[in-house]
Amino acid sequence: MNSNRIFLSIAIASMLAACGCNRTDKSESDNHLVILHTNDTHSQIEPDRHDMGGIARRKVLIDSVREADRNVMVIDAGDAVQGSLYYTLFGGEVERKLMNALGYDVQILGNHEFDKGMETLAREWKQLNAARLSTNYDFSGTPLEGLFVTSLTKKFGDKTVGFIGINLDPAGIISEANYEGVKYIDGIKAANAEAAKLKDEGADIIIAVTHIGYKDEPGYSDLDIAANSKDIDVIIGGHSHTVINPADKREGVPTWRVPNAEGDTISVLQTGSSGVNLGEIDINLDTKQVKARLIPVDKRLDNRLDPEIENIIAPYRNKVDSMRAKVIGKSPYEFERKSPEMVNLLSDFVRMRGAELCGKPVDLSIMNKGGIRNSLAAGEITQGEIIDIAPFDNSIVVMEIEGDDLLDNFKVMASQEGQGVSSNVEAVYDPSTHELNRVTIDGKPIDPDRKYRLATIDYLAAGNDYMEPLKEGDILAKSPEVLYKILIDYISAGKLDKLLANPDRKQRMSAY
């Protein structure tokens, strides 16, 4: 070995050690497949407010592993978009360019890929370099027709690896107009049928890439796919933002080794969300032994960033930064995204705007926790920060709804471990069964025979987030502006100053 080659080997080894990627020698990796995977990165192009993640850092890790291993695939399990100004302003263009630059091999759809409709989705996904995989969606007659394959096989030495892509039922989670014409096929049946077909055609290993959630999801989950399958060897999941860390041996944490229909143990992996981790799966193609881990994406990688990524981001960053710099108000306190105070703040705001819209008092408001996508830091509030918190194109609506339908909807919300409600509402559900025990509005139980004025967002009013009972209500008024524009106007005018200065930390829907 000459001196230049020795120097290169040492340099690569040092790089991998620094980023936590202790790889086997390339000459010993012919019988191994290394899969790097992400899910639910949600347009987190740059490091988050805790200085974790960032797509430029992710590329350092991906490049390092590719330098060390012969057989490497990079896979995304959906929801690569929605959650930052980069998507709000540019509709997936930035994410698509960057994922091409990182060399993704396989991508599947999440539910948020549909947020701007299929025309926009088709325009961007036609330009993806990755294989587009969907086993249980039929796109015939839609703008997405012809863009996806039902499965994929790859040869590595004398072994064949098959890939399938399983998505959630769009009904109840994606706005109907955004997936019109898409035919959903039962995910468990589709997974089993396609996996069996690939095995019959000679595949040695089957990997399912899914966007359905780890467990206890409406319809079915990764654990359900595993329990009903005999041909799938590895599941790479998304949607539930579950952190599955194979190194975490504590009792009660999500497990990554689960039984299948024949009692064999298979692997189920997921990385969390926002790109703060990169998943790595090392499969011995001869023995099917699987090793897996999470690699943190953090600042230790900053001295090796690829300038190509910065060159892609730079033309878009100016507009993003200008919106993030425009101050519209102040908050004395921090409102964490998933905290009761944030959910309560948004719920009370929706009720306030609802009363203005219909010119009458509103009995209550409902806001889904999933519609809140970021935290509010203490100090100056910027326009961009508010759009990051509520990025969806949702309007505020006021509806009239029968008490029995409203009660049914609270039962749905209890099954979801509570949602946001206005300050005059108190609900209690059983933590073990998630059944609703009681609910009051202004201290009184809901009267099944009375009509109530409810303020919410149009996404929920259409029965989404599985709130089917709300579809029974009659819309009385709808805001001409989307939620984040109204919220920006309210903060700019000081209308939320009292709520910001007095955070309500009470769990209005609580488990007892």
Supply 452's token pair.
Answer: 């109530």
Chain mean pLDDT for the chain: 94
Give the integer Cα–Cα distance in Å for 238 and 222.
Answer: 9
Residue 257 φ then ψ, to 5°: -120, 115
Most confident of 13-17, 27-31, 360-364: 360-364
* pTM for this entry: 0.91
Q: Please, where are the H alpha helices in 201-306?
A: 222-227
- Is pLDDT at 3 greater than 70 in this prediction? no
Supply 341's token pair.
Answer: 């105070």
CATH topology of domain 24-316: Purple Acid Phosphatase; chain A, domain 2 (3.60.21)
- Is pLDDT at 163 greater than 60 in this prediction? yes
Instruction: Report pLDDT digits (tens) over 95-104.
Output: 999 999 999 9
Q: What is the percentage of the chain residues whose pLDDT exceeds 70?
A: 94
- Is pLDDT at 15 greater than 90 in this prediction? no
Domain ranges of the chain: 24-316, 326-511
Give the integer Cα–Cα distance in Å for 460 and 465.
Answer: 7
Cβ contacts of residue 497 below 8 Å, gap of 6+?
A: 329
Q: State residue 240's pLDDT score.
A: 97
Q: From residue 224, how far is each of 2, 62, 178, 219 by CA, in Å? A: 54, 31, 27, 9
Give the integer Cα–Cα distance in Å for 487 and 496.
Answer: 9
- Segment 137-148 mean pLDDT: 98
Q: What is the percentage of the chain residues whose pLDDT exceeds 90?
A: 93
Band of pLDDT at residue 9, cut at 50, 70 and 90 = very low
Strand runs (DSSP E) across 139-213, as ranges? 151-156, 159-167, 183-184, 205-211
Cβ contacts of residue 392 below 8 Å, gap of 6+?
A: 82, 115, 371, 459, 482, 483, 484
Angle at Cα 220 formed by Cα 216 and Cα 221, nearest 5°? 65
Cβ(412)–Cβ(371) below 8 Å: no
The region of weakest confidence among 23-27, 67-71, 219-223, 337-341 is 23-27
- Segment 360-384 mean pLDDT: 96
Secondary structure of residue 143 in the 3-state scheme: coil
CATH of domain 326-511: 3.90.780.10
Give the integer Cα–Cα distance in Å for 172 and 29.
Answer: 44
Instruction: Report pLDDT digits (tens) over 250-268.
Output: 988 999 999 999 999 999 9
Residue type, 25: D
Q: Which of 485, 505, 506 is nearest to 333 (CA)?
A: 505
Q: State residue 29's pLDDT score.
A: 64
Q: State residue 30's pLDDT score.
A: 76
Secondary structure of residue 450 in the 3-state scheme: coil
Cβ contacts of residue 271 below 8 Å, gap of 6+?
A: 37, 38, 39, 40, 243, 244, 277, 278, 279, 294
Give the integer Cα–Cα distance in Å for 463 and 336.
Answer: 27
DSSP 187: H
Give the integer Cα–Cα distance in Å for 258 and 16.
Answer: 30
Q: Which of 265, 246, 262 is nearest to 254 (CA)?
A: 246
- Is pLDDT at 239 greater than 90 in this prediction? yes
Cβ(260)–Cβ(222) below 8 Å: no
Q: Facing residues of 299 across strands? A: none
Instruction: Report pLDDT digits (tens) over 53-106.
Output: 999 999 999 999 999 999 999 999 999 999 999 999 999 999 999 999 999 999
The region of weakest confidence among 19-33, 169-183, 262-276 is 19-33
Cβ(477)–Cβ(387) below 8 Å: no
- Segment 5-31 mean pLDDT: 48
Q: State residue 512's pLDDT score.
A: 84
Instruction: Report pLDDT digits (tens) over 287-308.
Output: 999 999 999 999 999 999 999 9
Q: State residue 28's pLDDT score.
A: 53
Evaluate the CA torsion angle 421, 425, 431, 434 in order and state its sign: negative
DSSP 51: S
- Is pLDDT at 152 greater than 80 in this prediction? yes
Q: State residue 272's pLDDT score.
A: 97
401 alpha carbon, distance to own chain's centre: 31
Q: State residue 338's pLDDT score.
A: 86
Secondary structure of residue 296 in the 3-state scheme: strand
- Segment 471-475 mean pLDDT: 98
Q: Could you check whether 24-316 and 326-511 share the same CATH topology? A: no
Instruction: Report pLDDT digits (tens) over 103-123.
Output: 999 999 999 999 999 999 999
* Sheet containing 420-421: order of strands: 420-421, 364-367, 451-457, 395-402, 474-482
- Is pLDDT at 413 greater than 50 in this prediction? yes
User: If you write DSSP's letter for every residue of 371-405 in order, what string do you get?
Assistant: G--S-B-SEEEEHHHHHHHS-S-PEEEEEEEEHHH
- Is pLDDT at 12 greater than 50 in this prediction? no
Q: State residue 408's pLDDT score.
A: 98
